[in-house]
Amino acid sequence: MTDATAAGPPDEGQLPAGTPPGFRSGFACFVGRPNAGKSTLTNALVGSKIAIASSKPQTTRHAIRGIVHRPDAQLVLIDTPGLHKPRTLLGERLNDLVRGTWTEVDVVGVCLPANEKIGPGDTYLVGEIAKLPKQPRLIAVATKSDLVRPERMAQHLLAIQGLEQTLGIAWSSIVPVSATAGEQLDVLADEIVALLPEGPMLYPDGEITDEPEVTLVAELIREAALEGVRDELPHSITVEVEEMGLREGRPENKPLLDVYASMIVERDSQKGIIIGHRGSRLKEIGAAARQQIEALLGTPVYLDLKVKVLKEWQRNAKHLNRLGF
């Protein structure tokens, strides 16, 4: 486990003083087809909005970590983008990121939405994990349980079990959950934690993510921008936070956080869509994003939001490097 080693779980017998006996710690990630509910599940388990969730498929780009703190364990969740056929350099880099994550985590939760039949996309994904030289433990998560009746869920669970034989894998457990209704989340957390190695806390108590605040802020702005856009546009938007800091000279009890950010698109026509008629969409995006940032950071926010065109940034190595991909 590259990451865990970097964060330092020491050898057995060297646990730091104060680590409760039997304490477990480690890493897990959720995989699944686009829209399977991975981000929503991560957020629900962590109990705070750290990974963006939207109704658009493939909105997740960063390996955001959420941290679940329990008296008996610390579970670090990594939220990965979906795996898909790469059409651009960005696509290739994202796929490498996903495969890299699978080999680093202790547990992979495969999300299979209960309201959809298991399809070639799901079997491809699980088949890819089955091929890895170093296998993580696998848990099948039947997501969106609130959307189906018990009979359909039973059918779904049998189909999930059937994958063991078809794909030559073994589920450590199969858990139906609803992230939105908060059903079975504790059961899922228990199942994951049971598969983690014994080890010390990896992050300070209370910390919910190690993503820098600017990344979270950029993701919230991107989420707001994605609301109500269609087709290829979601993939073309990225957000760069240029400057963020508390405004000087404010009274201590009335802080104001200044955020200067740009939404970056690939074409002029897309810029027009984001701005909207007389700037109406841009205004809506700004208002929605500001509200989310204030909720996340607990400070009033002044948000200065611009739209920029970076021609074909998804295919351009220089642009991708600059944007941090």
Ligand X SMILES: Nc1nc2c(ncn2[C@@H]2O[C@H](COP(=O)(O)OP(=O)(O)OP(=O)(O)O)[C@@H](O)[C@H]2O)c(=O)[nH]1
| Chain residues that interact with ligand X, rule: CB under 6 A | 32, 34-40, 53-55, 57-60, 82, 143-144, 146-147, 178-180
283 is in an annotated binding site: no
How many whole angstroms separate alpha carbon 94 and alpha carbon 55?
A: 20
Cβ 64 vs Cβ 44: under 8 Å: no
Least separation, in Å, of the C-beta of 111 and ligand X?
Answer: 6
Identify which of 32, 30, 10, 28 has the alpha carbon closest to the alpha carbon of residue 19: 10
Least separation, in Å, of the C-beta of 287 and ligand X?
Answer: 21
> Which residues are 307's β-sheet partners?
263
Which residue's CB is nearer to ligand X, number 235 or number 290?
Answer: 235
| Phi, psi angles (nearest 5°) of residue 148 | -125, 160
Which residue's CB is nearer to ligand X, number 15 or number 288?
Answer: 288
218 is in an annotated binding site: no
145 is in an annotated binding site: yes
H/E stretch holding 308 = strand 301-309
60 is in an annotated binding site: no
Least separation, in Å, of the C-beta of 12 and ligand X?
Answer: 36
**Burial grade of 114 (CB within 10 A; 0-12, 13-18, 19 or more):** buried
25 is in an annotated binding site: no
140 is in an annotated binding site: no
**Burial grade of 297 (CB within 10 A; 0-12, 13-18, 19 or more):** middle
Residue 75, classed as helix, strand or coil, is: strand
H/E stretch holding 291 = helix 280-297
123 is in an annotated binding site: no
Least separation, in Å, of the C-beta of 68 and ligand X?
Answer: 17
Which residue's CB is nearer to ligand X, number 40 or number 74?
Answer: 40
Least separation, in Å, of the C-beta of 315 and ligand X?
Answer: 21
Q: How do strand 107-111 and strand 64-69 relate by DSSP bridges?
A: unpaired
Which residue's CB is nearer to ligand X, number 25 or number 39?
Answer: 39
Which residue's CB is nearer to ligand X, number 126 or number 259?
Answer: 126
Least separation, in Å, of the C-beta of 143 and ligand X?
Answer: 6
How many whole angstroms separate alpha carbon 28 and alpha carbon 175?
A: 15
Which residue's CB is nearer to ligand X, number 121 or number 127?
Answer: 121
- What tokens does 77 get? 């969740």
How many whole angstroms separate alpha carbon 214 and alpha carbon 207?
A: 16
Q: Give the residue numbers of the binding site for GTP.
A: 32-39, 79-83, 143-146
Q: Binding site: what residues are annotated?
A: 32-39, 79-83, 143-146
